[in-house]
Chain A
Amino acid sequence: GENVEQHPSTLSVQEGDSAVIKCTYSDSASNYFPWYKQELGKGPQLIIDIRSNVGEKKDQRIAVTLNKTAKHFSLHITETQPEDSAVYFCAATDSWGKLQFGAGTQVVVTP
């Protein structure tokens, strides 16, 4: 089945710097890759997603890149702000269309 690995597990950045989180997946049939942001005690919220027919997608300060050949995708946050502090999860669909999640990255943005 699908296995999603996410790195790093924690990431500390200075306000204004960029943050990059990387995920790898194992199922070559995966075709949908969402990223979720989860604040403490709340449910995850979708922040951006990408499909396998696209290599990059941007939404203001957030971008996602996908390398199908290498089976990895990354989240890029530019000009980080304190409100970007949260846990971020990547996910990939498995062969049955169900989402498999990475273990999460705790991002801390220090002023």
Chain B
Amino acid sequence: GQNIDQPTEMTATEGAIVQINCTYQTSGFNGLFWYQQHAGEAPTFLSYNVLDGLEEKGRFSSFLSRSKGYSYLLLKELQMKDSASYLCAGTDSNYQLIWGAGTKLIIKP
């Protein structure tokens, strides 16, 4: 079967670091995306990983391990505006996206 798993909710403190994990099982795999979605808004693109390793983009970094079917999104120097849902999505052998249910990140002062 095809499945994307990520925690439902996480809480972190402003200024801290948080890691959001995602595990995937897809029939064929071509890459993994992370999107950010603020409440009541559309998802917006954060990152796309195809190869193993860490990709850094400002305060946000994304990691992929293809052999372990595992990815994480790392957010540093958390700001209140980072309160949002973070969606993990993997591509299957037909290049269609399989989405996780999203991780709601709550930032506390």
> Do the two chains belong together in a single complex?
no
User: Which A residues contact B (CB, under 8 angstroms)?
Assistant: none
